[in-house]
């Protein structure tokens, strides 16, 4: 199981939001690249990058910071936030991003997901962000009016192999990951799932690790590793056992 340290970028800085609320922001570093190097030094094998300004604008806004990260680490990276066109996908993958995360567009333009999967295969992942089992889109500001499992099944049919599932109600809260909903999604969709939202401690890692065979590919650690409630190196060790 892979532990993905999260680096959320806003205005060129590394920040965390509470429950996706842009008014509840904590800045953790002025240099996302320095943060990326720190996580790699602690054993990270894959980084989860989010362009928060991009998620709102609908196009990449923090390319300078992202390119700086790519220059400073030699581990794979995935990037989400405002990726809505084939042109953007082509550009980001050619920059050296390992895989891109399509979010809102999966609900609004599933044909693009299908086209991207046909062209890039497993370099395309879909992020499904949900609250109470209903998908949220556009920087979490509106409802997509579709259930999580239904969307996941549609994405599988479009060729998607991996889905990042975020429980918005827990994101940035350190209240524990929604293991039950995540495992249910993995079982019912038949797609590999990366869990996100609410990760607090080693208990969350162990609980998800127990369901690795159900299709849990990994877990994204954000606030927990920034606040120190989870030790990244220890989490990676447990995830590898």
31: domain CATH number?
3.20.20.70
Checking if the pLDDT of 139 tops 80, the result is: no
d(CA 46, CA 38): 13
Look up 8 and say whether it is catalytic. yes
- Total domains, the chain: 1
| pTM of the model as a whole | 0.95
Range of the domain at 140: 2-240
Q: Spot the catalytic one: 8, 167, 171, 204.
A: 8
Looking at residues 47-62, what average pLDDT do you find?
93
**From 129, 167, 171, 204, active-site residue:** 129
- Work out the average pLDDT over 184-213: 96
Would you say how long the chain is, in residues? 241
Assess contact for 42 and 232: CB atoms under 8 A: yes
Confidence at 53, pLDDT banded by 50, 70, 90: very high
Give the per-residue pLDDT at 90: 98
214 is annotated as an active-site residue: no
Q: How far apart are CA 6 and CA 128, in angstroms?
A: 16
């Amino acid at each position: 199981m892979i532990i993905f340290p999260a680096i959320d970028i806003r205005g060129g800085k590394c920040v965390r939001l509470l429950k996706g609320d842009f008014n509840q922001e904590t800045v953790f570093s002025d240099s996302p690249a320095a943060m990326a190097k720190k996580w790699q030094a602690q054993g990270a094998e894959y980084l989860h990058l989010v362009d928060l300004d991009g998620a709102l604008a609908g196009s990449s806004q923090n390319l300078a910071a992202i390119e700086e990260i790519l220059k400073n680490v030699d581990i794979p990276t995935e990037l989400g936030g405002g990726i809505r066109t084939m042109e953007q996908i082509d550009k980001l993958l050619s920059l050296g991003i390992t895989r891109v995360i399509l979010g809102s567009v999966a609900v609004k333009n599933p044909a693009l997901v299908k086209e991207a999967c046909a062209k890039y295969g497993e370099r395309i992942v879909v992020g499904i962000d949900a609250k109470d089992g209903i998908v949220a889109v556009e920087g979490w500001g509106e409802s997509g009016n579709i259930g999580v499992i239904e969307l996941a099944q549609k994405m599988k049919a479009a060729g998607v192999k991996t889905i990042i599932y975020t429980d918005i109600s827990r994101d940035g809260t350190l209240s524990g990951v929604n293991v039950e909903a995540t495992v249910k999604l993995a079982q019912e969709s038949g797609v590999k799932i990366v869990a996100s939202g609410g990760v607090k401690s080693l208990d969350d890692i162990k609980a998800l690790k127990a369901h690795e065979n159900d299709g849990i590919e990994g877990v994204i650690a954000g606030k927990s590793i920034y606040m120190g409630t989870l030790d990244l190196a220890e989490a990676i060790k447990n995830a590898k056992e």
